[in-house]
Every structure is written in structure tokens, then in C-alpha cells.
Chains A and B, each alone.
Chain A
């Protein structure tokens, strides 16, 4: 092989190598885009809700209530007959089967929706008005174009008759799409069109508050000790080894810890944000200590020596000078640690946060779900509507995580001092 050929070969190898590197970077970026695209294209549908216009005649005689009822009186009244009558007026039906089909295009909560409407708008008593009632999951999916209506009738859940009603309703402009407030206000439900992340949002909120309250002070105090005061001896070494190892212990092991100690030995209340918060605090503690120590270490020794030189004690030099300078770094480390805790699922499953909870929690000791656990729970459901609900939950979760991380980066860039 001549010299020129050899050189060409080497240059080709050079180009190939660079190409591999570039491809890898592009591949990794493509993965991110693909993942985000899949989630967003699947999830955006969950933010709208399909409603059907129904004419309701609030006749007080038929309802057997007084003309000026209180809220409780309306609450105690039976609206079932009125509801059914109004629903059946939507389309002409023959026979029981067709009536059932017609009623099934509505979400099963129609009676409460009508009742709540009249409680909020008492002026419509004795009047006939048009109410937007939530459509059932299947109609919702059909309206969003996700339902395979070309399948033969026996292979889909919507009957031909229901399709007929649907097409007629669309023709009459009686089907609307509105913003889905249920998604944010409702708790979990077996019916996808009624299920919301309200409960798990609150659950996650309480959990993160407990985690923050426990892990942040302990982490910052521990890192101050290790970085500033700890003598170089066996105990210190042992603590450091422990912290480094704990930071890499799989999260599920912390779930076992929570199950065995918190629930098993101390009888803490199951499925609650309190236990979840403690478990996650133990998990995030080492992950916060490590960046906290790094930002304490970044404060140059001259600051400490300057303080000591004018007569401050060691504790004074640390609390008055070193720690204030390290605060932005410790805060951003804490926020990143909390963001990780917010997305953690496995330990929460083990401490029983997978219970089906309809009610919204009002304190950290009420049973509840959390956002990532909700994703897991809904992903196990078979209904088509839960797929978009799951994706929407992921979108909400990612929004929180991105906001937290962006805030951490902002804190660092804005307030952290560079010393070199």
C-alpha cells in the first residue's frame, strides 16, 4: 500500500468515527423528540370533553318539590325519572334495547349533572332549558376520531343504532367539544370520561411538601457538617461511603424500607402522602447532600480564612459567610432532587399508594394517589379513553418537572457566583 492510499484510508476512518459520534448524538435527540411526540399526540385529546345538548324541562310538579327549594331539598329530590325522560327525548326510539342504547351514549353521571346544574342555576326551575351533558367514553372517542367505526358491528362496543344517533346529533349540531375541566378537578373514576388527576395532583403536592420539609433541612445540615466540620476519621469516612451508596440504591429498595419499617413496625397510615413523603425523603436525602456539598466546596477557602482572620469563630465563619454564598447551589440541587422524587413510582406502589381513591385528599394523612402512580394505574386500564388520560397525566407531570428543573437552572445561573 502506498503512502497516499494509507493516508486516504486513515482519513476515511477519521470521517467514519466522527460520523458514528454524530449519529449517536442525533439518535439520542431523536429518541427524545419521538417520545415527546408520542405522548403529546396521544394526550392532547384528553384536554377536551365531548358533550351532548339535551333539553330538560324542570317542572317542579313533576319533580315533586316546592317552588323555592333549598339546596338540600334539591339534593334529596329524585331526578332519575326527569333525567331519563329528557335523555329519551334526544332521539326517537322503539323498544327497550334502543332506549338502553340511547341512554348509554351518555356518561353514567347524567343525573348528578342535571341536579348540579339546577342547584347552581335555580332560575331555571319551571322552565325548559338546554344542558350540555357529558357523553360516554365511546362517543367521546368517536367524536375525537379515535374510534374504529368501520369495524363490523359485533366487534365494536358502539352499536349501529348508536352510530345513527351520533350522526343525527352531529348533523343537528348537538355535539360539542369543550375544555375538559374534569381532568383537573375530579378524582379517579372507573369511567374514563369522568376520571381526573385532581386527587393525584393533591397527593403529589402533599408528598412533595413532606419530602421537602424533611429532606432539605437534614440534607443541608448534614452537608455543612461533612464539608466544614467533620474531622478526617473513620466515622466520617463511613458516613461518606453510606451517602454515596445510598444515592445509587434502587428506589424500590426504599419502598421495601417504607413498607417494612414505616408501615410494618410503626403502623403509619397506609397509602398516604405522609408515608410516601418520608420514604421519598430518605431516598432523596443523599441525592441532595451530594450537590449541597459540591456547592459548599465551591466557596473558596479565602472566604473562610478572611472571616477567621477578623476573629470570627469557625461556626460564625460558616454560618455568616460560607453558607449564604452556597445557598443558590444548594437550592438548585434540592429542587432537582425533589423533581426526581416527584417522578418516582416504584416505592409508592409498595407502600400502597395504588389504592383506588375517588375522593380528593384534604391532608397528608388521607389515602391518595400521586401523579406517576396515576400514570401506572391508568396504563393498566383497557378502555380506549384511559390511553389519552394517561398521556395527559404524563404531560402534566412533565410540565411540573420541566418547570422545576428550569427554575433550578435559573437559580444557579442567576445567583451563583463564579470564583475563578
Chain B
């Protein structure tokens, strides 16, 4: 239905284009005046005024229609005999109504549900009808407005360019809207979570086991119950596990990445560089789920068997395996970024160092790296932020049990693993368990935000230094 309307709008505005172009030529030649812009612009003017409002209305309607209908139906239900139901149950009834309407309802059909489905059907047809009426009247109105302007021989090019600029500006606002959306969706659930669990208990508690959490209205929790509950949501073990695995990853990635960056920038011949750089960058293009599979299937069991040979007890979901594979994934980020920043160091600095008799490695160690240090630090920080936000490797290769440990052979868990484990499959929206995932997401978002901000500042400062 929407597609058909969209097609009609497109068709109509295309014909508006040709009509507008023809009309302006006709008017101006009849009145023997010059048009204020090329005829095409009058066509564009009319077409844009026809299409943009219509498409906007259509989009907004499609997005908000289900929400509004749901609100109306639920309102109806609760004002009728079902007022004693709580929101969750009302939601369930609503789902049943939809199912009945769609024809895949299983179970006994009660009177409310049957009535609700009939209501739903009538609302849908009302909505559909009013959508078409509003759309067409709006379209007519805006097109007529534009047409009036057109026959007065307005400055169509300037008008069209204004519209174009407005559209461009709107598109660039999407980035801000996304950020607002992220913060809003995370904050909304997190605040609900923090009304149940004190934010300090969440940030500094040392025991994490959300599966123990019971679902209860926040206002009726007794102090003893709260004590038990806060033990389910102490996130320190997750922060520690995340930091630990990221640390192992950096131990692998920083030396290898940095040294290969240095080698490619300073030593490698053109030919070696041409072939080895893309190969290393393949590592960055491989989806993380592949690394996860690799870590869980090959690296984890390998470490366990290797450890058994030496009488060590190694968990098959050890932090070591996850961290190592994550490190491999991060190598190309560090190597290509440090390659770039080392290349940006002016040749004159190197020449000066060679001139006083330093060898190449001495030049690199004493001159190039100190000069490139802010950029390198920035790239390492970006890599750290990537490591703590990385999900699939740890979901598949690290453990689920939250424990505080610094033994790399034991299993640990991370923030991202817990978010996935809590939200995988069906979830009740109003339990502290589900909300805790959003609180973890918020923490993760701010942690990476701060790291990225500092890293970008470093890189920017460094760039300014040599440009």
C-alpha cells in the first residue's frame, strides 16, 4: 500500500517537473518576458514542493501509526472492564488482538479480544483512509502554492537551491539524531534500573549474577531483599574481566602492530609494502564472528591440551584464548595507523639524525618515534576502545561466569558478553535483569566515548604539529 502511494507521488512529481518546465516557457513567451531562471529549475521547484511534503507525511505516518493505534486500543481496553490489568497483561492482550487480526491466533478467543480485533480492523481502515485523504490534500495544497509562485515568474533557482541546502542540512543532522537516540534509549532503561538498584552498588559491587535477580515492583522491596538483589548486579567483575582481556589483547597487538608499522614505514621496499600491507589489512576486514569461531574451536582447545601436557588446568574458555585472538584482530588497526603517523614525520628530522651519524634504528628509536608519539598513543587508545567494545570474540570464546581473577588460564566474562547473554532470545522489558543490560551499555558507551575523545585529541594535536 505504502509502496503504491510512494510510486504515485513519484509519478505525480515527475509529471509536475515536465508541467512546470512547459508552463514557464509558455507564460514567459506569451508575456514576452525572460524567465528568472532556466526552465528546468521551475520544473524542479514544482516537483520538489510536490514530493517532499508528501514523502515526509508518508514516512511519519508509517512510523507512528502502529504506536498510536496501540495506544488507542490499550486505552480502550483499560477504560473498559479490563482496568484491573497491569501494563504487561494489557500488552499481552494487545498481542493476542493483533494475532487474531492476522489470523494466526491460537487459544480461546475471549469477548474482549474479539471486540479488540474488530476495533483494530476498523482503526486500521480509518487510519488508511485518513492517511490517503490528508496526503492528497497536502500534496494538492503545496503543489498549488508552488504553482502560484511559478506563474508569478519567481526566482526558481534560488528557491530550489534553498530547498537543496535544507535537505543536505537535514541529512547531516541524522548523525546528531543517532547520538541522541543512543543516549535516550540507554538512559531511559538505565534510569529505571537505577531506581531499583543504587548506582553505586552497581558500579562498585563485586558480585554479578543477574540470573538470581527476582522480578518485583521496585517500591515493595525490603532491605534484606535489596541486599540480595544488589549482589546480583555488582559490575566490578565485568569491568575487571573486560579490562583484563583487553590488556591481553594489547600485549599481543601493540608490539606486533607497532613493529610491523615501523618496518613497513621505514625498512620495507616498495614491493614488500605493496603486497604485505593489504594482507595484514585482511585481518581488519574479517568479521569478528569468524575470529570468535576460530578462538572457540581452535585456539581455546589448543591451549587446554597444551596446558594439560604441563599439568596446568586451563579452562577451554580461557581469557588467554579470547585475548590472544582479539589481539590478532587489532594488529592491523595499530599497524596501519602507526604506519600513517610515522610516514607523516617530516623527512628533515630523519636526515638531521643521519647527518650526525645515527644508524637507522637509532633514528627511529630516538627521533621518529618520539616525534610520532602522540599519534601512536592515539592509535593505541583507539585500539583499546575497540577491544573493550568487541563483542563476538568474547561471547564465543570467553566464559559466562563473572569472577574476579587475574589468572589468564581461567575463564572471565566481559561487559559485552553479559549484554548479549541477557538480551539474547525473548526478554521481559520491565525486569531489572533486562534493564541492567542497558545500564552496562551506557557504561560501555561512555567508556569508549571518553577513550575515543582523548585519542582523537591526541591524533589531531599531532597532525597540527606537522602540517
Contacts and interface: CB of A to CB of B under 8 A. Distances in A.
Of B266, B285, B364, B452, chain A has the most CB atoms within 10 Å of the CB of: B285
Given A346-B416, A350-B420, A253 B389 contact: yes
B134 interface: no
A195 interface: no
A29 B392 contact: no
Interface string B290-307: 111110111000000000
B208 interface: no
B181 A261 contact: yes
B171 A222 contact: yes
B445 interface: yes
14 contacts: A18-B361, A21-B259, A25-B268, A25-B276, A28-B283, A28-B331, A29-B276, A222-B172, A242-B178, A256-B438, A260-B186, A285-B178, A343-B285, A350-B420
Given A28-B256, A239-B175, 17 more contacts: A21-B267, A25-B260, A25-B264, A32-B282, A217-B171, A221-B167, A222-B174, A229-B165, A242-B175, A245-B452, A260-B185, A260-B186, A266-B66, A282-B181, A345-B391, A375-B290, A394-B293
A267 B279 contact: no
A354 interface: yes
B414 to A, nearest CB: 11
Contacts of B64: 266
Contacts of A42: 297
A267 B70 contact: yes
Interface string B166-178: 0111011111101
Given A24-B256, A266-B66, A252 B419 contact: yes
A256 B290 contact: no
Contact of B429 (A23, A230, A264, A342): A264
Interface string B406-420: 000000000010011
A10 B357 CA distance: 11
Nearest to A267: B66
A326 B24 CA distance: 33
B283 A32 contact: yes
A161 interface: no
A314 B167 CA distance: 15
B294 A260 contact: no
A11 B186 contact: no
Contacts of B391: 250-252, 345-346
Contact of A31 (B264, B272, B283): B283
A257 interface: yes
B392 to A, nearest CB: 5
B416 A379 contact: no
A27 B256 contact: yes
Which A-B residue pairs are the 6 nearest by beta carbons? A250-B389, A21-B263, A343-B287, A260-B185, A225-B168, A17-B361
B279 A29 contact: yes
A219 B288 CA distance: 25
B359 A349 contact: no
Contacts of A224: 168
B362 interface: yes
Contacts of A260: 184-186, 188-189, 438
Quick one: which of A25, A249, A394, A405 has the most chain B CB within 10 A?
Answer: A25
B179 interface: yes
A244 interface: yes
A257 B263 contact: no
A39 interface: yes
A387 interface: yes
Interface string B445-465: 100110011001000000000
A250 B171 contact: no
A246 B175 contact: yes
A31 B331 contact: yes
B174 A218 contact: yes
Contacts of B448: 248-250, 253
Contact of A252 (B67, B181, B287, B420): B420
Interface string B309-335: 000000000000000000010011001
B262 interface: yes
A354 B424 contact: yes
A372 B260 contact: no
Contacts of A25: 259-260, 263-264, 268, 272, 276, 280
Interface residues of B, number: 96
B96 to A, nearest CB: 15
A315 B259 contact: no
Contacts of B259: 20-21, 23-25
A278 B267 CA distance: 45
B255 interface: yes
Interface of B: 63-64, 66-67, 70, 157, 160-161, 164-165, 167-169, 171-176, 178-179, 181-182, 184-186, 188-189, 255-260, 262-264, 266-268, 272, 276, 279-280, 282-283, 285-294, 296-298, 328, 331-332, 335, 359-362, 364-365, 382, 385-386, 388-392, 395-396, 416, 419-420, 423-425, 429, 437-438, 441, 444-445, 448-449, 452-453, 456
B171 A225 contact: yes
A38 interface: yes
Contacts of B174: 218, 222, 285
A373 B293 CA distance: 12
A405 B287 CA distance: 13
Contacts of B437: 256
A243 interface: yes
A286 interface: yes
A376 B396 contact: yes
A13 interface: yes
A343 B167 CA distance: 31
B50 to A, nearest CB: 19
A132 interface: no
A34 B17 CA distance: 59
Given A18-B361, A245-B449, A35 B276 contact: no
B262 A379 contact: no
Contacts of B167: 221
Given A28-B260, A222-B175, A267-B70, A13 B292 contact: no
A200 B28 CA distance: 58
Interface in A18-77: 18, 20-25, 27-29, 31-32, 35, 38-39, 42
A266 B60 CA distance: 11
- Among B276, B391, B437, residue most surrounded by chain A Cβ atoms (within 10 Å): B391
A346 B67 CA distance: 27
Nearest to A379: B293
Nearest to B290: A394
A141 interface: no
Contacts of A20: 259
Interface in A305-359: 313-315, 319, 339-340, 342-346, 349-350, 352, 354
A263 B282 CA distance: 34
A245 B287 contact: no
B173 A256 contact: no
A250 B449 CA distance: 10
Interface in A231-273: 238-239, 242-246, 248-257, 259-261, 264-267
A24 B282 contact: no
